Amino acid sequence: MKPLSLSAARRTLPLASARRKKLPLSAARRTLRAALADDTAGVHPLGHAWLRREVLPAIAALTHAALTHAMPTTTTATDTTDATLLAAAWTLVGEVYELVDAPRAAVAAYTRARRLAPHVAELRALRADAQAAAKRAPRNVVSESAELLAADRAKAALALLSSSRSARALLARARAHGALGDAAQVIATFAALRKTRGPLRLELADWFYLPDAAFESPAFWRALARLVPRLACGSVFVHANGARDAFDPARAPLSIRVARATWRRVIATQLQRCEQLSR
């Protein structure tokens, strides 16, 4: 690992939202090591609040330390270790952004990781894949809103989606409300989906931005239960314990009828759990 230079540290400054919370360096290192101890599939269900409140502030704390203490002629073992940790953390952030359909944000995260670890060949491949995904991605209000959410610009995403009434746009609006922590609006938006037509496909991003208050609300599960007849193959469900299910007949011998029956059972179980908690 090359030393973390002052110029490299400047180029790795995280998103503005990440700088709102200052952490002691020891706590920042513990946070990032804990996040990196699991793979992306394991940490992803912890959601947007986890990324914004824990991971990005920890990255910001280590980056600030690099800016404050890095010297052009001296490099300590701690500097090198922190550079390695920052590179791995930005790689994790890039992987999460890819999962929530924000490939341009993923490219930016991988670029930051590469500046800290230019010798890691895997980062070049990850960045190239994200760049290719960004080129393939359609430039419409839904895809653009995903990039805005990754940039912590949820209000701008809502403004962009304000005139769109399609089911995909409403799901994107629910994500934006979730990023703002507005569980009531998330639930109201899911309820409004009943007025749209056509199949619905729930993506990982729909769960990633779902606030805990919505996940624990019986009203959310009642709204989702009404949408089961329209759920398309490949729809994803994230359980309270972080496990994921994707009902896709192309990958498993599961008919859409069986998939929807499974959804009904899962949602009924979640609804019962939330109703018990709310008593």
Q: Which long-range contacts (CB under 8 A, 24 or more apart) does 175-178 make?
A: 175/145, 175/146, 175/149, 175/205, 175/206, 175/208, 175/209, 176/145, 176/148, 176/149, 176/209, 178/48, 178/209, 178/210, 178/211, 178/214
Structure tokens at 60: 């910001």
Q: How far apart are CA 100 and CA 106, in angstroms?
A: 10
The number of residues in the chain equals 279
User: Which of 256, 262, 264 minimizes the C-alpha distance to 227?
Assistant: 264
How far apart are alpha carbons 242 and 61 in whole angstroms? Answer: 27
For residue 144, the number of C-alpha atoms closer than 13 Å in the C-beta half-sphere is 11
CB-count exposure of residue 150 (10 Å: 0-12, 13-18, 19+) = buried
pLDDT of residue 244: 56
Rounded distance between C-alpha atoms, residue 207 and residue 209, angstroms: 5
Mind listing the pLDDT tens digit of every residue in the chain (279 residues)? 333 332 332 233 334 344 445 678 899 999 999 888 865 555 555 689 889 989 999 999 988 887 765 544 445 555 678 889 999 999 999 999 999 999 999 999 999 999 999 989 999 999 999 999 999 998 999 999 999 999 999 999 999 999 998 999 999 999 999 999 999 999 999 999 999 999 999 998 999 999 989 999 999 999 999 999 998 877 888 766 555 555 554 455 456 777 788 888 888 988 998 998 887
Centre a 10 Å sphere on the Cβ of residue 156 and count the other Cβ atoms it contains: 15
- The Cα 7–Cα 14 span in angstroms is 14
CB contact at 8 A, 47 and 210: yes
